Amino acid sequence: MVSRRKFTQEFKLAAVERLRAGEPVGLLARSLEVNREDLYRWQRALERYGARAFPGVGQKRAEETRVAELERKIGQQVLEIDFLRRALQRVEDERRLRAASFGASSTTKSSAK
């Protein structure tokens, strides 16, 4: 499940200022990657509450969230690689022990058919 994006107070204020400056709402929404309704809601909140309109701290932008997600994925893959490397090492160690105790002929294919 994808969590909702949250925006910082500075981001919202800058967006509303651009809207008030006359930038078309459709273009602004696309350039900021937000919904038009969000821009209108932020504008109404700023008109109604002024400086107290956006009290939350917001979350990271989409790019920062994606980078964090990819870094977590890399970390998980590193753990998986380490696990598989250790498992392979154990298999190789067991194979060497069997070869040493039973002789090298047991690890090769039989040539008689």
Percent of the residues in the chain that have a pLDDT greater than 70, as a whole number: 81
What pTM value is reported for the model? 0.47
pLDDT tens-digit readout, 15-31: 999 999 999 999 999 99
pLDDT tens-digit readout, 51-67: 778 876 655 556 777 88
- CA–CA separation, 75 and 77 (whole Å): 5
Domain boundaries, the chain: 1-59, 61-102
pLDDT score of 73 more than 80: yes
What is the assigned CATH class of domain 1-59? mainly alpha
Query: Contact 53/8 with Cβ under 8 angstroms?
Result: no
Q: Which pairs count as long-range contacts for 97-106, CB under 8 Å and 24+ apart, including other chains? A: none
| The one-letter amino acid at 52 | R
